[in-house]
């Protein structure tokens, strides 16, 4: 089976010379949900930005058979739906409907068609009533769902989610989980929330200092790296 995403030996350096990615190899197969775990600054978000060409490093990145390079970027960006950590950066239009229709409109769809597509996407995430609201009127959870709709409107094959549960209260987290589980696309989820990761991911990789140093199930990696919510022991004096 050919992978949807194939990354070989990806390297990336920031302007000031720091190495952000130091030879990453990665595959994503249809139907999978892969969790990217690891400490802050280990390169998870930087890695993910290479998958739709927002960053360009050395090495090989192939998405749906196309190299992530100039002539293919348009199509790749349609197929890879990237959900950023900060929903306010993603909802930049005056109303929800315009935000969700943005992708289709940019790709040349007629306004009427784009609007229909947008409404369908909003329905998928349960936010069809918010079509004419302005983004700042939405709660964090609602913004997250609308952001997801903006990505779904272009009918992607792969969803990449960067810290999707940040700022969400437990009920919103569960809602998001059900929503994501119902979507057929292959998914990559960058997250610190190991409980969420365990619920949604079929497999996980562990990033450290720009490289993937381990692979396995979320439970495996949690064990190996002691990677989960820490509960500090009470000190003997505090009685």
Asked if 150 interacts with other proteins (CB under 8 A), we say yes
Residue 130: count of CB within 10 angstroms of its CB:
22
For other proteins, the binding residue among 56, 60, 65, 92 (CB under 8 A) is 92
- Structural tokens at position 43: 């390169």
Cβ–Cβ under 8 Å, residues 185 and 81: yes
Secondary structure class of 203 (helix, strand, coil): strand
Round to whole Å and give the CA distance between 94 and 38: 36
Helix-then-strand count for the chain, H and E? 9, 10
Asked if 219 interacts with other proteins (CB under 8 A), we say no
Region of 26-34, 56-64, 129-137, 224-232 interacting with other proteins (CB under 8 A): 129-137
Round to whole Å and give the CA distance between 45 and 57: 14
Would you say 74 or 215 has its CB closer to other proteins?
74
- Judged by CB under 8 A, the number of residues near other proteins is 33
Kindly identify the residues of this chain, within the stretch 47-86, that bind other proteins according to CB under 8 A: 49, 52, 54, 74, 77-78, 82, 84, 86
Contact pattern from residue 13 through residue 52 relative to other proteins, giving x for each residue in contact according to CB under 8 A and a dash for the rest: ------------------------------------x--x
Round to whole Å and give the CA distance between 74 and 53: 10
Run of H or E residues at 213: strand 211-216
Residues pairing with 84 in the sheet: none
Question: Which position has the token pair 């990761």?
Answer: 197
Would you say 93 or 179 has its CB closer to other proteins?
93
For other proteins, the binding residue among 14, 17, 71, 136 (CB under 8 A) is 136
Per CB under 8 A, residues contacting other proteins are 49, 52, 54, 74, 77-78, 82, 84, 86, 88-90, 92-95, 97-98, 101-103, 105-107, 111, 114-115, 134-136, 150-151, 154
């Amino acid at each position: 089976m050919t992978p949807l995403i194939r990354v070989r030996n990806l390297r990336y350096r920031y302007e000031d010379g720091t190495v952000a990615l130091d030879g990453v190899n990665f595959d994503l197969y249809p139907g999978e949900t892969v969790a990217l775990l690891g400490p802050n600054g280990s390169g998870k978000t930087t890695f993910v930005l290479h998958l739709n060409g927002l960053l360009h490093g050395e090495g090989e990145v192939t998405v749906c058979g196309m190299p992530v390079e100039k002539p293919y970027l348009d199509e790749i960006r349609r197929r890879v739906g990237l959900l950023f950590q900060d929903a306010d950066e993603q909802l930049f239009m005056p109303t929800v409907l315009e935000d969700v229709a943005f992708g289709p409109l940019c790709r040349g769809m007629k306004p009427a068609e784009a609007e229909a597509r947008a409404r369908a996407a909003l329905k998928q995430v349960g936010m069809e009533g918010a079509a004419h609201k302005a983004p700042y009127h939405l709660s964090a959870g609602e913004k997250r769902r609308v952001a997801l709709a903006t990505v779904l409107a272009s009918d992607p094959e792969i969803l990449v989610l960067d810290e999707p549960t940040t700022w969400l209260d437990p009920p919103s987290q569960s809602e998001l989980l059900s929503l994501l589980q119902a979507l057929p696309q292959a998914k990559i989820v960058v997250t610190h929330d190991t409980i969420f990761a365990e619920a949604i991911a079929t497999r996980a990789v562990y990033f450290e200092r720009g490289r993937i140093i381990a692979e396995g199930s979320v439970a495996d990696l949690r064990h190996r790296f002691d990677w989960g919510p820490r509960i500090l022991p009470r000190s003997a004096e505090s009685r």
